[in-house]
Amino acid sequence: MSVLLSELNVGDKATIVAINLEEIPLKLIEMGCLPGNTVELLQIAPLGDPYYFNINDSHVAIRKETADEVVVEIENQLI
């Protein structure tokens, strides 16, 4: 099922399907935020922003506005 990166739940693993190159900072692309790479949501800040991800073995914090620009395909979903 394809969803936005910001719609993942803690523990979900997914594969990046598409990104909006005009809205994604170059630094995130350099760190592996590219289609085909895996991503796992590790934690969400107490106020709901930012999100803390493991993307292609790099740990990054991403704001919700940026996470809304990444489409992923969920691999597994915790209940």
Contact 21, 35 (CB under 8 A): no
CA distance 62 to 53: 8
Judged by DSSP in three states, 64 sits in: helix
Percent of the chain exceeding pLDDT 70 equals: 95
Band (27; pLDDT cuts 50, 70, 90): confident
8: pLDDT strictly greater than 60: yes
pLDDT at 26: 87
Summarised one tens digit per residue, pLDDT across range 39-72 is: 999 999 998 889 999 988 889 999 999 999 999 9
pLDDT at 57: 83
Threshold 0.85, pTM exceeds:
no
